[in-house]
Amino acid sequence: MQKQRSYQSYLNRFGWLCVTPAIVLFCLFMLYPILSSLYYVTQKWRGATSTFIGLGNFVRMLHDQVFLQALGNNFIFMAVQIPIMVFLALFLAVLLNQEVQKLRGPLRLAIFLPSVTSLVVVSVLFRMLLQTNGMLNNLLIGAHIIKEPIGWLSDPFWAKVTIILAMTWRWTGYNMVFFLVGLQSIDPQIYEAAEVDGASKSRQLFQITIPLLLPVILFSLVTSTSGTMQLFDEPNILTQGGQPYNSTMTAAVYIYRQAFLVNGNFGYATALSYVVVLISGIFAFIQMRLLGQREPDK
């Protein structure tokens, strides 16, 4: 009995020894930054020196027109790009889930590949396509669709369109994989019973497929909304962080600039980060309340 206790005590100590490095790293790089941010959010902190200003960072944020514009850009990208991406991901998933579809494997790989492609490759590809004398403008002019080249990266409106296209191209395949998994988990007998009852393919889609995929759709919407609120890579690479005229500036890019490039005011950047997190949480709560109540009973 004593040997068993000794052996069990040894296993407990060995277990704690194994998880200690992970706990230390978590405390250093996750827990400590979160707790310290609660202090720095009340400071005008520039690294070496800090001054207590209370809620001054949040008051400044309310009058910061560039940040409000960046936040508005986030909302525009969210309202336009997410519905398009979710619709395309669902459409492609349904299309590729058909058993009669040939070359399903290569097509799935081709659609999913952009989500794991290097951002450097993405930037080079889109800049080659979207320059004033780039391939896309030459193609559209050659087809007599447009008469003059479109400023995809120099015009405020078309720069937003470019960011939306880049995000859709990059993340549609990623969400399509989740929809494919959800489709393959649906019992085929449900569709067989619907066909016996005379339900058409479109009716099966709207009355069977989409209701049963609501948990996956909710997951896709919540993660996409959170990702859009943190959008950084596409505007930072394609439009040099918000050009032209801050038309593609996002909250994440602006926070990065405030912290590391322009003023080095980490306290203000921390306050802005809390606002972005809060907005993301509000959107996630709304989506879960709206769609979570519509999930079919199991």
pLDDT tens sequence across 39-68: 888 888 776 777 888 889 999 999 999 999
Give the residue from 166, 180, 164 showing the smallest Cα distance to 89. 180
Instruction: Give 63-292's CATH code, choosing from 1.10.3720.10, 3.10.20.30, 3.40.47.10, 3.50.50.60.
Output: 1.10.3720.10
Which residues have CB under 8 Å from 291's CB, separation 6+? 214, 217, 218, 221
Note the pLDDT tens digit of each residue in 138-190: 888 988 888 888 988 889 999 999 999 989 998 999 999 999 889 888 888 88
d(CA 179, CA 152): 31
**Per-residue pLDDT at 222:** 92
Q: Which of 63-77, 115-129, 145-159 has the highest mean pLDDT?
A: 63-77
Please give the pLDDT value at position 74.
95
Predicted confidence band of residue 293 (pLDDT cuts 50, 70, 90): low
**Candidate from 4-18, 177-191, 208-222 with smallest mean pLDDT:** 4-18
Bond into 33 cis (ω within 30): no
Cβ pair 274, 94 in contact under 8 A: no
Is the predicted pLDDT of residue 70 greater than 50, yes or no?
Answer: yes
What is the reported pLDDT for 125?
A: 82
Q: Output the furthest CA–CA distance in the chain (Å, rounded).
A: 89
Q: What are the sequence ranges of the domains in the chain? A: 2-35, 63-292
Note the pLDDT of residue 82.
95
Query: What does the block give as tokens for 240?
Result: 């040099």
Question: Does residue 295 surpass a pLDDT of 60?
Answer: no
Which residues in 151-161 are b (16+ Cβ under 10 Å) and which e?
Answer: bbbeeeebbbe
Q: pLDDT > 70: what percent of the chain?
A: 92
Which residues face 43 on adjacent strands? 52
Of 264 and 146, which is predicted with more confidence?
Answer: 146
90: tokens are: 């669902």
Buried b or exposed e, range 4-13, using 16+ CB within 10 angstroms: eeeeeeeeee
